[in-house]
Amino acid sequence: MSSASSSRRVPLALIIPTLLILLVALGYPIGWQVITSFQHYGMLQQFGQPPEWVGLDNYTALFTDGYLWVVIARSIVFCLVCAASTVLIGGGMALLMRAVSTPARLILQIALLVAWAMPVVTSMTVWIWIVDWRRGVLNWLLTRLGGDFQGHNWLVEPLSFFAVAAVIVVWMSVPFVALSIYAGLTQVSPEVLEAAQIDGASGWQRLRHIILPLIAPVVSIVLLLQLIWDLRVFTQIKLLQDAGGFANETNLLGTYIYQLGTGAGDFGAAAAVSVIMLALTVAMSWYYVRSLMKEES
């Protein structure tokens, strides 16, 4: 009896230090954000003046401002489009890696790793040069192909701005998804696929009824991660805004928080938007978390 109870205590003793580190590392910033969202925290508070408790005033001002809802809707649509595109393209590249020869697969994997390991700011420097309206490669190429794109600014119009941003975000995320799904594909038994082929199953039927169900856990976790990452996207949008986009017409939640806090000095409102973003992230993740809890039970 004592050995059984001690064996139960060992995993608990190993988990508790990790939980404490998580509480300190994550709990404090989240707690500070929540408390600040109920305060008036402006530039004076940065120089030592005590913050003023305003209760729900920050939330009331935000929820009655139509611009917040525009930013939320814009962020959700951008997130869904980018996450779905990333998983589809990454899944296709994973299937391609499984089908090609070993040398071709190694070249493709190395290329994906190099693209994924490239720092975001470095990648953005190249992308901004590509879409630059004065000397960009994209305008030069389209003009050479017969179009009238000389001096066309892709970052002025919100639709083309987000098209460029979506391409960049997807390009940066595809390597992770492709390599993760390919790792899942390596666990699919070739014997099972060969037996299905002998039984007359087509390639599409094998993919739909055998491969996809077996790699569904991998696909679901990478889709969840992409939804979270794409909802919180900041660097790509901010650098594109600095390169020529209009912030008020292209803000997502991340850049809106930056604009309220660092730009306008209203850190209480920025903290409130951060809490709203956290709530959206939890809501979008809840289905997967609930599925994990059901599997564990």
Phi, psi at 134, each rounded to 5°: -95, -50
Report the candidate in 167, 220, 169, 180 with the shortest Cα–Cα distance to residue 93. 180
Which pair of structure tokens corresponds to residue 195?
């037996």
Note the pLDDT of residue 229: 92
Question: What count of Cα atoms within 13 Å lies in the side-chain half-sphere of residue 238?
Answer: 15
Q: Is the pLDDT of residue 1 over 50?
A: no
Percent of all residues in the chain with a pLDDT value above 70, rounded to a whole number: 96
pLDDT digits (tens, 9 = 90+) for 39-89: 888 877 777 788 888 889 999 999 998 899 999 999 999 999 999 999 999
Quick one: average pLDDT of 107-129? 90
Grouping H, G, I as helix, E, B as strand and the rest as coil, residue 56 is: coil
Q: What angle do CA 179, 184, 187 make, to 5 degrees?
A: 135
Quick one: average pLDDT of 101-120? 90
Q: Is the pLDDT of residue 297 over 70?
A: no
Which pair of structure tokens corresponds to residue 34?
């929540």
Name the DSSP letter for residue 42.
-
Q: Is the pLDDT of residue 216 over 60?
A: yes
Grouping H, G, I as helix, E, B as strand and the rest as coil, residue 40 is: strand
How do the domains of the chain map onto residue ranges?
83-248, 251-297
The structure's pTM equals 0.86
Report the candidate in 278, 259, 281, 279 with the shortest Cα–Cα distance to residue 269. 259
Architecture field, domain 83-248: Orthogonal Bundle (1.10)
Residue 37 · residue 271 · CB < 8 Å: yes
Considering only residues 260 and 3, tell me which one the structure prediction assigns the higher pLDDT: 260
Instruction: Round to whole Å and give the CA distance between 147 and 254.
Output: 35
Residue 260 · residue 270 · CB < 8 Å: yes
Report the candidate in 65, 106, 19, 123 with the shortest Cα–Cα distance to residue 256. 65
Per the prediction, the chain carries an average pLDDT of 87
Name the DSSP letter for residue 126.
H
Q: Is the pLDDT of residue 20 over 70?
A: yes
